[in-house]
Structure 1
């Protein structure tokens, strides 16, 4: 009986969790409900903070929200399993019952952690840091006088609405750009917003542009009133704003947009620039300022500057040159373009001819002022070659103020036959970039790389007047149809007008129907961003000469007509962002195709006939999230392929060639001997290692090799498409305990490595061996974050556990060292570091780090700040009391978790973003804010010489790759 009693008690104890299971389920439901309420409160506060001054969540808050979602998902799984598991499966139910108890405790703890006594947000001050690249004001007396008038109005509380007007090309935008930067740097307003209105703007676009500047996501509704209410609420929360509306063509109602009326109470200001004084009256300007043309002396000074500082005009030519300048009528744009066209000319006959051309080139074209047109037309006529003129006119196919990617533009030029004499694609690109540089040198194109693009990313745009000129010229020839950002209706309307048309652009237009028609000479058709639901099934039937077709970002397209298969001369086919497109017609007949970009489509399989595309040079399959298979032999059949872009695809590359008999493996990539650009994801780290061991990457100009993350940012992918980046990215990996531990052999070094950023590697204990660390002679920044197992950053393999303070390591260029949330870190380096360039040391949440690797004889001479908690600083142990005394003035007790203001402004929606300055280069940062930068990349321990993988030019700039990317090593060119 005693034994029976014991067994009974044991059984009772075993079954106890089952007996309380139902009760615990109810408790868990209640705790999850309470946690969800707290989550809703946090989300609401974050939303309010986002609207008010653009505040962003602290990273600990983002992590908390992620953990809340994780526990809710897990609880959902547990309850689902409980509903499926039979009562007879005692052991399974007992396991689930224990999980319920654990989740109750976790939910209670998580709710408690969600109090955030020190607040949820960090200041971002949207719009207050981004400054534009400085543009020199020409004509000091006239322009500065205008600038001063505008700034005086901005300081006058009684003036809220200011109109700035003047003829095209007179310099209105240049003046406002300088005011924009001055005001931002002065901090006079809570936020400064710049919106380029342009000729084709409408109410919805203006609302979108303003909301974008506010980092505000307008609701998906088309209701203009609701959208204006959201903009109005955001601007009211922000407080004192300055809104600059550049290049207004007609009046808009501020109320309809959602812009509060400026008054003496809110002290807000609105400034617009326009060519028409009538617009100023229509907008209700309280002050109207006319931007005058340059004086005669200012015009002459500017002209000589554009001719070249070393160029001296002969006494015979100088009076002719002065007459040339007079023809430009004091307009900076005209003077600049004409001056650039005449640069280096010292033949009096050419100068006389130029003057005559300017006098006789009065337009008979509507919409362009005589003086503007004559100088710009002169500049166009005096371009080097007809090819230069054709390439310039081609740029008018893109919308006003459109950032044109140079690689894409040159690809179109090549495909459209502008370089017929060049067969080799690489030589075609060389020629294309030469022409772009020539057009920029003559001021016919503008460089518009936003700071932060970096890495050889290249974009250009046309000044709106030059675009007007190009459209006017092409309109006379009847060879271009350019109807961008407009309501086209039915296209084509008159089939008879299409006989001579060679290029059509309907980008971002609303089209009722693409109807059947004959386009016997059409070679380029750009439909990117247009709004239509269907294409006539015969639409492409009579376009046998078509060579460039861009249907990107037409969101309503679900299918393409079979007549697409008839485009036998097509060279470029772009279908980017057609996320409803699941199938593409057969491409078997498109044997001339060079570029095929299906990025962002929903295709499950590659189109039929892919193996016939033997001339393919570039294949884009990035973000094809439904792509289930790449058949064996397809990729390797593209013998001339130069670019393979597949980041974010559902299809990941594996070293397993067969994949159980289905699909291609990395060996197919290796067979692509002409490949120059490779952006792909691998299944796991071993598959990446397998590819790297082939050494194929050594012949690439550009690569992004990724493990463990799905890209979903098409814009980021597009930027990588046009970049020269070299990156290896490893995300969310927990398989590494170390990176480089083996001592380097002869020829192994990391001499070109500049930045080391490590984050969220939970098993990583060590970063470097001493031997590898000593090779980092160009290293500028080390950042290690969220590595729970990290014990030593640099370990001495020969003397594990022993201090070697008397032996030094010199890192002459190291500027920044940041160590965040490393609970087990005990040592940075047990050897003494000599870092003469070190400016910043940042330590957060590293309670076991008791020493810094400096001695009294090796203190960083450039040190500006040591930032950490007072408790950590007071707990540090020193080899010499004087060491602490020398470093004490640089210590500041900073709040934990909060990254510096500049860093947060750079990061915006990123959880992590690599910065080269950590707030020490404020002026440079303010200029770089045009785009967010993406986090840097990393190299795993592949036990291979890393030198080639680490190549990096001095001029390389940090840049973003994608949102929320947690990576290991940065390496790029």
Structure 2
């Protein structure tokens, strides 16, 4: 962008490569900065949500937090505007469908004086004009030769050389894509394993016949994308793909949550174990990603997510409506209940972000199996609302901030298998829990006002239970009720106060199925805990605002119902543990336990004032003698606010998967356990981020080769 250009607009049809180009610009500026203090990326999408955009920008410039959340919109505008007008920034806005008033989202107008920049993508040239861009950049479809060159790369030389006729047929198929990069990418990957002329001739026939049936550019694209859908292996994979269309455009879907829907819907068989079914779900997601029908990423919580390109999303809805009209009802950010001619045909309905506080009327939906109502303003439901949905399997009411009690009548939906009430202010569990005879998945995480889970033991078939940061008080009766859940396979739990922590950790039943454990807010005298080595399912471990002084490994004594610490352990355990978060724990001095967690991928330690060692040499001696090399899978380390930290490990480690180390406010950490061979190798494969120049200048490197290598990979933030 030239200095005199403050706002740049990029327009073109869906799937032509606008977002790809904008991401490349974002990545380049993120890596090289070019004098910009902040490089900000925001996806806008069709439904313009000003508050969401403001909050996302604030988060990117580190203005987020509890104080920010309490501010009114006007205050947020002013704070953000006054913050950014003193700084040089570049803002990338992806997928605009209407004008975005920069002042309304707290963005100063870019000028030659402030040298700030804004770049955006849109399908509409009119939006460019309304945004004040006189000469927008149009991204056009590729020319025939360029398109064929791109297509050949996707197909691969092995396939192209498998028969002398295939290159000629490939050019015909590429022509059918009409130069659209998304179509070339999707169809090219589909054809990459087709190595007979018959398969290529069939592809040409299918693409030709579908293209003739529709007019207009959209009609020429969707059938091409549908060809990749038709080539998915198995109806269950196709059903999983179409299910993703229930979410709004650009919506980031947690892989784990999505798979939970699929299992409860019966698309994936969960009768042989949840973990086995989840593995199949991840395989299906992988196949959809490889087919370019889904895209995957990791969100800022380090959670694996997937999302759909908007053109693919439109295609999925088109297929669903083509198969049966009104079978899929998707109306995000709607107000109230949509008007549907044939409610009896509706099988899946998504009204996410609904702006109504209550629904009027109760549609009769005998075939409805999924109802997604999360992220809305719903406070209550008509008494008969759920009684007319006898086939309902999946019900998501999460993030309805006004829903203070579970709706009447949901216990009468005898078919229900999945219920999500997370992030709601409910005070009690639904009435008549014993009526939920088929419920296998219950999510009541972040229900801070929940008073009790008494009676939960009556959910006989429950397999997955999420209790993260739920407000009820743990006691021995709670532990006993949960232990009575005979079929429980996956538990996510948050526990506070020392006696409750010990009661939980001494339960063989509960610890053996715990996937995520959060110990928090136990402000009392310093105490030690021992994690049972039988916690083989534990994936995420977090302690926050605790006075825990040491974390050990232990074994459960079933007679005394206590956990006995192991002294001088020698073998790895916690084989599934991949993420550890230590936050505001001012009594911890070391984390030697982590040496025995071979699958650890992410380690975040913030504000632990007494922490001196990550791996203590004396306590790790037996493990070292047995040949354990710590952190073989670790890819990200974050250390922040650790004034006494001196040592991560006493000697250099290979860290074969390490991509990033963040060291912020750790003045006494003078030596890193690195040598010239440590970490990921390759261009931009590894980054060492820091805040204080004095710290990086004072680092004691293993040797000059190590210093040379890692100083080239540092980034001050």
How far the C-alpha of 1:241 sits from its partner, in A, is 2.7
How far the C-alpha of 1:577 sits from its partner, in A, is 0.8
TM-score by length of 2: 0.78
How far the C-alpha of 1:544 sits from its partner, in A, is 2.2
* Map of 1:700 onto structure 2: 537
How far the C-alpha of 1:529 sits from its partner, in A, is 0.4
Aligned equivalent of 1:262, options 93, 98, 110: 110
- Of 261-270 and 213-222, the range deviating more from structure 2: 213-222
The reply to whether residue 216 of structure 1 matches residue 54 of structure 2 is no
Aligned residues: 654
* Map of 2:437 onto structure 1: 591
* Map of 1:498 onto structure 2: 343
Aligned equivalent of 1:294, options 132, 135, 142: 142
Aligned equivalent of 1:170, options 3, 10, 16: 16
Residues 506, 526 of structure 1: 8 Å contact kept: yes
CA distance in 2 between partners of 1:724 and 1:765 (Å): 17
CA distance in 1 between partners of 2:662 and 2:108 (Å): 45
Instruction: Spell out, residue by residue over 1:390-448, the C-alpha distance to the aligned partner (whole angstroms, 9 max, x if none).
Output: 11110011121111111111111111121359644333222212211111111111112
For residues 145-294 of structure 1, the aligned pairs below 5 Å read: 154-155=1-2, 157-188=3-34, 189-217=36-64, 227-238=76-87, 240-294=88-142
Structure-2 change in CA distance of 1:451 and 1:726 (3 Å): closer
Structure-2 change in CA distance of 1:286 and 1:342 (3 Å): same
Equivalent residue of 1:177, what SS?
helix
The reply to whether residue 539 of structure 1 matches residue 385 of structure 2 is yes
Structure-2 change in CA distance of 1:918 and 1:363 (3 Å): farther
Structure-2 change in CA distance of 1:631 and 1:773 (3 Å): closer
Residues 641, 674 of structure 1: 8 Å contact kept: no
* Map of 1:864 onto structure 2: 707
Structure-2 change in CA distance of 1:649 and 1:470 (3 Å): farther
Equivalent residue of 1:541, what SS?
helix
Aligned equivalent of 1:778, options 624, 629, 634: 629
Structure-2 change in CA distance of 1:184 and 1:588 (3 Å): same
* Map of 1:460 onto structure 2: 306
The reply to whether residue 320 of structure 1 matches residue 112 of structure 2 is no
CA distance in 2 between partners of 1:475 and 1:730 (Å): 48
CA distance in 1 between partners of 2:677 and 2:39 (Å): 35
The reply to whether residue 681 of structure 1 matches residue 473 of structure 2 is no
How far the C-alpha of 1:545 sits from its partner, in A, is 1.2
Aligned equivalent of 2:155, options 301, 307, 312: 307
- Of 596-605 and 285-294, the range deviating more from structure 2: 596-605
The reply to whether residue 394 of structure 1 matches residue 235 of structure 2 is no
Residues 150, 184 of structure 2: 8 Å contact kept: yes
Aligned equivalent of 2:403, options 557, 573, 597: 557
For residues 504-653 of structure 1, the aligned pairs below 5 Å read: 504-515=349-360, 516-579=362-425, 581-627=427-473, 629=475, 630-631=477-478, 633-647=480-494, 653=500
Aligned equivalent of 2:578, options 718, 721, 725: 725
* Map of 1:670 onto structure 2: 508
The reply to whether residue 377 of structure 1 matches residue 226 of structure 2 is yes
TM-score by length of 1: 0.59
Aligned equivalent of 2:206, options 340, 347, 357: 357
* Map of 1:875 onto structure 2: none
CA distance in 2 between partners of 1:472 and 1:652 (Å): 56
Equivalent residue of 2:442, what SS?
strand
CA distance in 2 between partners of 1:481 and 1:794 (Å): 53
CA distance in 2 between partners of 1:221 and 1:787 (Å): 31
CA distance in 1 between partners of 2:598 and 2:100 (Å): 57
Structure (1 or 2) with the larger CA radius of gyration: 1
How far the C-alpha of 1:864 sits from its partner, in A, is 2.1
CA distance in 1 between partners of 2:164 and 2:598 (Å): 56
How far the C-alpha of 1:323 sits from its partner, in A, is 0.9
Structure-2 change in CA distance of 1:600 and 1:320 (3 Å): same
Structure-2 change in CA distance of 1:773 and 1:613 (3 Å): closer
Structure-2 change in CA distance of 1:685 and 1:637 (3 Å): farther
How far the C-alpha of 1:552 sits from its partner, in A, is 0.8
Equivalent residue of 1:192, what SS?
strand
Residues 623, 650 of structure 1: 8 Å contact kept: no
CA distance in 2 between partners of 1:609 and 1:491 (Å): 33
Unaligned runs of 5+ in 2: 549-575, 632-636, 680-687, 693-698
Aligned equivalent of 1:426, options 262, 275, 282: 275
Residues 654, 674 of structure 2: 8 Å contact kept: no
Structure-2 change in CA distance of 1:615 and 1:195 (3 Å): same
CA distance in 1 between partners of 2:526 and 2:376 (Å): 43
Structure-2 change in CA distance of 1:402 and 1:728 (3 Å): closer
Residues 251, 283 of structure 1: 8 Å contact kept: yes
Residues 674, 706 of structure 2: 8 Å contact kept: no
CA distance in 2 between partners of 1:220 and 1:241 (Å): 23
How far the C-alpha of 1:638 sits from its partner, in A, is 1.3
Structure-2 change in CA distance of 1:920 and 1:622 (3 Å): farther
CA distance in 1 between partners of 2:50 and 2:192 (Å): 43
CA distance in 1 between partners of 2:498 and 2:448 (Å): 12
Instruction: Spell out, residue by residue over 1:194-213, the C-alpha distance to the aligned partner (whole angstroms, 9 max, x if none).
Output: 22121111444443443333
Equivalent residue of 1:315, what SS?
coil
* Map of 1:417 onto structure 2: 266
Equivalent residue of 2:342, what SS?
helix
Equivalent residue of 1:164, what SS?
strand
Equivalent residue of 2:363, what SS?
coil
CA distance in 1 between partners of 2:499 and 2:409 (Å): 32
Equivalent residue of 2:150, what SS?
helix
- Of 616-625 and 702-711, the range deviating more from structure 2: 702-711
Unaligned runs of 5+ in 1: 1-153, 657-664, 712-722, 742-747, 796-808, 845-851, 866-916, 927-973
CA distance in 1 between partners of 2:458 and 2:30 (Å): 56
How far the C-alpha of 1:637 sits from its partner, in A, is 0.9
The reply to whether residue 921 of structure 1 matches residue 696 of structure 2 is no
Residues 524, 548 of structure 1: 8 Å contact kept: yes
Structure-2 change in CA distance of 1:732 and 1:314 (3 Å): closer
Residues 166, 172 of structure 1: 8 Å contact kept: yes
Aligned equivalent of 2:186, options 332, 337, 347: 337
For residues 67-216 of structure 1, the aligned pairs below 5 Å read: 154-155=1-2, 157-188=3-34, 189-216=36-63
The reply to whether residue 709 of structure 1 matches residue 546 of structure 2 is yes
CA distance in 2 between partners of 1:337 and 1:753 (Å): 34
Equivalent residue of 2:95, what SS?
strand
Equivalent residue of 1:411, what SS?
helix
CA distance in 2 between partners of 1:577 and 1:292 (Å): 44
Instruction: Spell out, residue by residue over 1:263-317, the C-alpha distance to the aligned partner (whole angstroms, 9 max, x if none).
Output: 3322333222111212212222132221121121221122122223422252223
CA distance in 1 between partners of 2:183 and 2:502 (Å): 60
For residues 475-494 of structure 1, the aligned pairs below 5 Å read: 475-476=321-322, 477=324, 478-484=326-332, 486=333, 488-491=334-337, 493-494=339-340
CA distance in 1 between partners of 2:45 and 2:648 (Å): 56
Structure ranking higher in helix proportion:
1
